[in-house]
Structure 1
């Protein structure tokens, strides 16, 4: 299996061939950076954990060279950080019992370049080999441009597939912008109560980020707990850990839908909900 970068890699924790590992995949996530999968796609990881009939595969688009660093990692070069982050992602794949992790190894600039078709082609190659039922990526309202780029490249790759080879569900998930702003009717709610110890370990494995200056471990678990409590104002909590997603499935069911207009419709519904409540409670 060939990808655009000679430095790309398919890591398979249990040692079977990359082709077999992709073929058994049922849930697939495409993230921009190492550790994005563990933050945004825990629903897919837990759906497959400890099972032989479901398998999770992750795709990392970029090489992770530009991450902030402090402490032990303060003096690390970009090349050293790339090596460390790839090693951490492999560890996460072992702990989470992934089928495979594919490192595409593009720079952030390459991933963000809309003229770079190699990224789309690589993701398409993986999708064709895996035929996953569910695909997770970043939500299109994420504030990190590389994340939005990864989501758009994933959308383009899926749209290249024949309709009968496309996933049945396609979700845009939370990393660099929460989705609690969406109208409740638009939210996809992932209830993530099982295996909290595994969930904590998966984010904590990325020591270069946690000790390097970003407490993603605490922030990710805190966000999930906050979502679980603040989801319903007039009911007791029914979950302890929750993530939200934007349902992107309509974008792969109808290729004529514009991604920007699709997200704008979500924003408009949120704005309408807020302004309607203010008008009603103001007696207008």
Structure 2
């Protein structure tokens, strides 16, 4: 795709907001949507023009790696699946070069692995009927180091033009460094936007550190039983992971059943499939909130609960 320089992009944005500017609307519809890294990829399953596919999004997921969306943002995917007025958009920030490989993929180079992972993510977007699937193509180090500027700008551009009602990101207690860094880049991008353009709800979701440890009142419960059959085909397309020895398809289905059953010891189950999330909305409503202190508040409340419960019986 041909890159749009900043002047052209600004002009297109202005024209798109002016309903009387017919030339601007036409130019916008036919202009490419591009991002800063040369390895970026945009996939639109139903072949809608890129700008429309961005602007119709109601639920957006921004994650680090291919297949993170289908785990972390599964609630948003199922909320929008077969819906006439809700659309899910997906963003994967990194290139997949560091993926573990085994079996038929054992001898794949990083370049070959990136191509496989990109194709698998496109397949998942097709199965889940995503509005658009953007893979930004950055090396993980670009997300975690001082080279993060372009990452934040790309994320800001997506958030600005999609303006989702609901955003799914990694939770800040995740034990994967790239996941935590990706969450922080997302927060930077959101806070660079005016309040009225920010998501109405932001959920920090489970991937590498699950959230069953949260106190009952700190858990956001995301029911994911709307299309129970959808999880396996969504994760099943990531053959490079499954053949490589990581059965995410089985693990995630089992986890959702376990969450539903073990959520509460004194009530019967109201759903058979449940994921947990942190409500991170206060962080995007108030820029003065310190993200580290906000996150550690969850941990401190757990510590106090454990101490109080033991104290009662010692």
Work out the CA distance in 2 between the residues paired with 1:23 and 1:50. 18
Q: Considering only aligned residues, what root-mean-square deviation do their CA atoms show, in Å?
A: 0.9
Question: Bigger relative contact order, structure 1 or 2, given CA contacts below 8 A and separation 6+?
Answer: 1
Q: Give the SS at the match of 1:263.
A: helix
Q: 1:1-284 residue pairs with structure 2 within 5 A?
A: 1-282=33-314
Report the CA distance between 1:166 and its aligned residue: 0.5
CA contact (8 A) 2:231 2:249 kept: no
How far does the alpha carbon of each residue in 1:19-52 deviate from its partner, in whole angstroms, 9 at most, with x for none?
1100100000001000000001111001100012
Runs of 4+ in 1 over 2 A off after TM superposition: none
SS across alignment from 2:229: helix
Unmatched segments (≥5 aa) in structure 2: 1-32
Match of 2:5 in 1: none
Deviation, 1:114, is 4.3
Say which SS state the counterpart of residue 259 (structure 2) adopts: helix
User: Could you tell which deviates more after superposition, 1-10 or 27-36?
Assistant: 1-10
CA contact under 8 A between 1:136 and 1:170: conserved in structure 2? Answer: yes
Rg larger in structure: 2
Deviations 1:102-142 (CA, angstroms, capped at 9, x unpaired):
01000011111145211000000001110100110100000
Which consecutive unaligned segments of at least 5 residues does structure 1 have? none
**Counterparts in 2 of 1:63 and 1:47: CA distance versus 1, 3 Å:** same
Judge conservation of contact 1:68–1:213 (CA < 8 Å) in 2: no
Helix, strand or coil: the match of 1:104?
A: strand
